[in-house]
Structure 1
């Protein structure tokens, strides 16, 4: 009988080493939850999954931007809606002033309060220090406001960011008109308030009334010739009618502005829903490529543990022959 390592021992050791190697792999899958954790596991799947993960981070950033934009749009829309309510009250006061025997001075006091409220509401429609209804010196009225809306990976591997634009911010064709009043207030020093519905005198000039009536004047712009809508005991019936016409025209443009904000807010919400679904689909795709089947891996681990125990027993049986040889020599 040879006392050198036997074939049976070699076979048992080989089987046990193979079982231990498979157990290490399976244990790693169970611990990490991934069957492709590094490039050496599967270079193609790892590359695709890594790219998809980076794209998901970009999509998450877009979702954050859309969330901020939705909040900003919601604030702007609320501001426009409140201003419409206040201007409607001003119109109602002017209609009441057209009646015979009313105290126009008392009505004018109410008008002043409502006009102060118009500026307060407009300036308060701010979210994260961003106000989309008041134009100041640091803003360009003809420059579209843009919002990151999508992350695009093209077929050639290049990437780009899709933008949503506030679509009524367009450069006017020819001279500025009342239709270019896209904001509530235009306080720019370089203008006359023409881009603000409440500060534009284009409504009055286009109607051909006797005065360049405005609901309020710009803080910094040129206001020469403009007349803030107000009443006094000397205000004529004809002047009241002109003021009502101007206010009604401003209300029509306010409705246009409110509709534009509402439409953009809807687009933002739809785009955010799409980004959420795209993120979820990417995550699911990554999982299909690299995630381990935990039920399968757990079952495999249990089987390998059983095989390991049997392998150890086989090795012990194979090693037992050495004890037999040793016992033979104990009598010498």
Structure 2
């Protein structure tokens, strides 16, 4: 039936054209953004998962930055410990040389004092980002905590992992800034006759070749050697911490790459597929326009019946 009120062919063609234009707009949006799921209306489940994963990825990036900062802090402490060990070894060598009879111990002491000052400067200068793990206030907390990981379990609960480093008397502390003498270098030691001393205050300038003075000199050598041993243990511990930090940082970086890949699989558009779809929809759009034009023209034939 032909009707001038209802053009069924034109209505059908218009509906098809509207559908084609809607699909074409969606495809153009995917091509321009590179995403097939750009918002929740595209795919609510995928969008929700991707949003959570992006948030976790950002948290992991912060963890990686924190690990990098921790690695630098440990590296500064390790290098300062290495330097301190070398300087203390030089002091021990000077003390051994002073054991020989007839040497000018006052001149050797002048050299030792310069080395002692170098030890103090090294410990006090081993700071990074406001943290010093060698010159430490023993009266305060001597544990340092580094963020090491971020994870989310199957129930959605978030947990943050940490690495705890003890920089106190059993750690890397060389000088106790609270004057408590808890550091490796300012620890109070006792010589046989001359009394208490520290690696930073020992003085051999007045020692003679007497048996008691030579025994004190040997005590000094033993005390410095013990300090070197403690610093070596501290440097070993710092090396182990640095290795752990680097492993965690590598893992965090790898995990971020995996998250990026996973999010991409969920929401990224396949540009090859979208470009092919775009060309097909453009052809459909042109055909739809022509079909609508033909449908509109069909009603013109009714006029010939009234001529």
Q: TM-score, normalised by structure 2?
A: 0.91
Q: Select the residue among 208, 213, 229 that pairs with 2:202.
A: 229
Alignment of 1:39-50 (within 5 A): 39-50=40-51
Q: TM-score, normalised by structure 1?
A: 0.84
SS at match of 1:244: helix
Following TM superposition, by how much is the alpha carbon of 1:155 offset from its aligned partner in structure 2, in angstroms?
A: 2.4
Question: Using the alignment, how far apart are the partners of 1:11 and 1:180 within structure 2?
Answer: 85
Question: Using the alignment, how far apart are the partners of 1:281 and 1:37 within structure 2?
Answer: 20
Question: Using the alignment, how far apart are the partners of 2:145 and 2:241 within structure 1?
Answer: 11
Q: What is residue 59 of structure 2 aligned with on the other side?
A: 58
Q: Select the residue among 235, 238, 263 that pairs with 1:286.
A: 263
Following TM superposition, by how much is the alpha carbon of 1:139 offset from its aligned partner in structure 2, in angstroms?
A: 3.1
Following TM superposition, by how much is the alpha carbon of 1:92 offset from its aligned partner in structure 2, in angstroms?
A: 0.9
Contact kept, 8 Å, 2:172 with 2:235, in 1: the verdict is no
Contact kept, 8 Å, 1:197 with 1:250, in 2: the verdict is yes
Q: What is residue 159 of structure 2 aligned with on the other side?
A: 160
SS at match of 1:160: strand
Q: How many residues align?
A: 301
1:186 aligns with 2:176: yes
Contact kept, 8 Å, 2:98 with 2:105, in 1: the verdict is yes
CA RMSD of aligned residues (A): 2.1
SS at match of 1:265: helix
Question: Using the alignment, how far apart are the partners of 1:272 and 1:148 within structure 2?
Answer: 10
Q: Provide closer, same or farther for how the CA distance between residues 325 and 20 of structure 1 changes in structure 2, counting only shifts above 3 A.
A: same
Q: Provide closer, same or farther for how the CA distance between residues 66 and 125 of structure 1 changes in structure 2, counting only shifts above 3 A.
A: same
Q: Provide closer, same or farther for how the CA distance between residues 209 and 253 of structure 1 changes in structure 2, counting only shifts above 3 A.
A: farther
Q: What is residue 175 of structure 1 aligned with on the other side?
A: none
Structure having greater relative contact order (Cα 8 Å, sep ≥ 6): 2
Following TM superposition, by how much is the alpha carbon of 1:82 offset from its aligned partner in structure 2, in angstroms?
A: 0.6
Residue by residue, what CA displacement relative to the aligned partner does 1:1-39 show, whole Å, maximum 9, x if unpaired? 543443322222121111011111111211222111222
Unaligned runs of 5+ in 2: none
Question: Using the alignment, how far apart are the partners of 1:182 and 1:72 within structure 2?
Answer: 12
SS at match of 2:149: strand
